[in-house]
Structure 1
Amino acid sequence: MPAAATGPLPEGGLAVTTVELENVSRWYGNVVAVNDISMTLEPGVTGLLGPNGAGKTTVLHMMAGFLSPSRGTVTIDGGSTWRNPAIYRRLGLVAEREAVHGFLTAREFVRASARMHKLPDPKAAADRALGLVEMTDAADRRIETYSKGMRQRTRVAAALVHDPQVLLLDEPFNGMDPRQRMHMMGLLHDLGDRGHTILFSSHILEEVEQVSGTVQVIVAGRLAASGDYRKIRRLMTNRPHVFALQSSDDRRLAVALIAEKSVSGVEIDHAGLTVRASDYGSFTRALPRIAIGEGIRLRKLLPSDESLESVFSYLLEA
């Protein structure tokens, strides 16, 4: 687990805040971006996992009230997020698309956010938020001089300045160096432990594993899997794998592999063998034993379906 964040966090507990999507769809003309998704988010950190173009940003924007669902409801503690100013005061959003003004300093930008939320002491609130993301030392430089990671941290500070109960972040670790990333992960983890309801999107399972125990997986606009990340990891690891294989005697090897329990299919053509394995571990242990036993020399063994899209598509089918 990442190290704890070092800035001062708000004292006291928060009321339990629940975000709920019920049979939510969103389409643009004939394009369905989100298709009949239902999920419930409670205090803590949840990862929204999926390949690029899966619909993650659309889901976050509907939660934030930027978009209305074409069908279904999006609520925070029972109140609709669409055109609801009372809800807006309870949430913070870090969108994937940057919306910072380079001529401002980070301190000016975050104070502007504090004033927009009509906080009684914008200066103190901005200073606190900048401290949380470790931007105090660079806060009086213009944003246009920052690296992408520094700009990202400034945007997180602006989203946190009013201490929202719900925090939504779209690919928040983009552009951050490893130390910045670990600090941000620690901050999100601490906020979740203190009762904030946090959802962040990512296309990298390892990012989700380091911050959150709960995952929602979206593929092609549909909810493909949800629950404990260990369950999702097992589904990904144990899915059928397809290998491209070449040997000194492809036909004899194909016959031997068909008899192997972990092999669910073998095809042979001029390029070699295509082997479908139902159990990755069992197959990779059995293959050397079979090759040695048959006196066959292996020349090539490559996974042919290891793209991110193929992994997520399997979850959707499962």
Structure 2
Amino acid sequence: MNPPNEDAPLRSTSPSGPGSDVTLDGVSRWYGNVVAVNDVTMTLGPGVTGLLGPNGAGKTTVLHMMAGFLAPSRGTVTVGGAPTWRNPSVYEKLGLVSEREAVHDFLTAREFLLVSAKLHKLPDPASAAQRALELVEMTDAQDRRIGTYSKGMRQRTRVAAALVHDPEVLLLDEPFNGMDPRQRLHMMELLHRLGAAGRTILFSSHILEEVEQVSGTVQVIVAGRLAASGDYRAIRRLMSNRPHVFAVQSTDDRRLAVALIGQGSVTGVEIDRAGLTVRAGDYGSFTRALPKIALAEGIRVRRLLPSDESLESVFSYLVEA
């Protein structure tokens, strides 16, 4: 495999234009008496966003409505202001990688990309196909039949097909499935570059570490409803019903622990060889009070680290709520 081709061409789009916005407004989708998605409202702009939720939460249904595969039972879904349902022209600006694989094994990657480019009626299909293959590092194997590929190679070929027409919006359902660590790293770097160039990218994943590495911005679906939206660290700080946990190291941990016990926002303090573990009911009150308390006691704080602001913690709190 070649090293990441950071010089592969990426067209920049306007980060402030509405052409790449994806909007769901009061969207619900039900199947008979079963409600899959319930009154979801969200707007996605340029950048990379992770779509999270337990199995059966409604993630794939949301993606399929964004892609125009499903009609909302209620509400509207638009891309760049245009409805997605029964509107094939939306694919002029939208690329999709669905979870279900649909690649013809008898074709080579280059043939598959060339067909995709021709279906989009691009002026130079061969150049577009080559560019997309370069973006996903598949040029070395482009003339092998797809049936001989590993799952990770097939997945990268599908991503290339979604990128062949240089879309403003990219929707990916479990895009890292089957990729080895090296392939995942390159795909993460590619998504970062696409988002920085002004694309609107939404990807679902059941592996929280992947979402945490690719994007700090999340949309969390739980039981068909939008449970949280935005930067997951900011979401955590707004969870007033959950105590915030901090790891603290100072020049005198014992004296600082005694002083902190009397602070109104502190609900518990533990001390061990690694330092202090402090539980606080209010994030802002504690972080404002700590410097004042340390200064008054003549103690220097060497480290202050929120220890439960990982995406895994936020997600588990939301799912349990």
The TM-score bracket by the shorter chain reads: 0.7 to 0.9
Q: Partner of 2:318: helix, strand, or coil?
A: helix
**Shift of residue 231 of structure 1?**
2.8
CA contact (8 A) 1:7 1:132 kept: no
Letter in 2 for 1:9: P
Q: Match for residue 103 of structure 1?
A: 106
Indicate if the aligned counterparts of 2:135 and 2:190 stay in contact, CA closer than 8 A: yes
Question: Which residue of the partner structure matches residue 292 of structure 2?
Answer: none
2:50 is paired with a residue whose SS is strand
Task: Encode CA deviations 1:129-166: one digit per residue, 9 max, x unaligned.
Answer: 00000000001111111111000000000000000010
Residue deviations 1:63-110 (CA, integer Å, cap 9, x gap): 011111011110112211111122121100000000001111111111
> What is the distance in 1 between the residues matched to 2:4 and 2:192?
8
Tell me how far 1:30 sits from its aligned partner.
1.5
Q: Does 1:210 align with 2:213?
A: yes
Measured at CA, do residues 28 and 190 of structure 1 come closer, stay the same or move farther in structure 2, by a change above 3 Å? Answer: same
Match of 1:40 among 25, 30, 43: 43
Structure 1 segment 23-34 matched on structure 2, within 5 A: 23-34=26-37
Quick one: structure 1 residues 174 and 214, their matched pair in 2 at CA, closer, same or farther if it must change by over 3 Å?
same
Say if 2:204 is the partner of 1:220: no
Question: What TM-score does the superposition give when structure 1 sets the normalisation length?
Answer: 0.74
- RMSD across aligned positions (CA): 2.8
Return the alpha-carbon distance in structure 2 between the equivalents of residues 4 and 106 of structure 1.
19
Provide the residue aligned with 1:189 in structure 2. 192
Hey, what's the Cα distance between the residues in 2 that align with 1:144 and 1:232?
A: 44
Paired residues of 1:49 and 1:204 also in contact (CA < 8 A): no
Task: Give the aligned residue type for 1:60.
Answer: L
Q: Percent identity?
A: 77
Selected match of 1:130 from 125, 128, 133: 133
Q: Do the aligned residues in 1 keep the contact of 2:106 with 2:145 (CA within 8 Å)?
A: yes
- CA-CA distance at 1:234 after TM superposition: 5.8
Q: How do residues 12-23 of structure 1 correspond to structure 2 at under 5 angstroms?
A: 12-14=12-14, 15-16=17-18, 17-23=20-26
Structure 2 residue runs of 5 or longer lacking an equivalent are: 245-266, 270-276, 280-310
Q: CA separation of 1:27/1:142 partners in 2, compared to 1, >3 Å: closer, same or farther? A: same
Which of 121, 125, 132 is 2:124 aligned to?
121
What are the equivalent positions in structure 2 for 1:303-318 lying under 5 Å apart? 312=315, 314-315=317-318, 318=321
Give yes or no for the alignment of 1:10 onto 2:10: yes
Q: What residue in structure 2 maps to residue 198 of structure 1?
A: 201
- Residue 232 of structure 1 deviates from its aligned partner by 4.3
Superposition map of 1:41-80 within 5 A: 41-80=44-83
SS at match of 2:114: helix
Q: What are the ranges of 5 or more consecutive residues in structure 1 without an aligned counterpart?
A: 242-260, 264-280, 284-307
The whole-number CA distance in structure 2 between the counterparts of 1:309 and 1:167 is: 25
Q: Distance in 2 between matches of 1:52 and 1:197?
A: 24
SS at match of 1:35: strand
Tell me, in whole angstroms, the C-alpha distance in 1 between the residues paired with 2:12 and 2:317: 43
Q: Distance in 1 between matches of 2:35 and 2:312?
A: 18
d(CA) in 2 for partners of 1:5, 1:28: 45
Q: TM-score, normalised by structure 2?
A: 0.73
TM-superposed deviation, 1:52: 1.9
Aligned residues: 257
| CA apart distance, 1:29 | 1.4
Alignment check: 8 A CA contact 1:235 1:315 kept: no
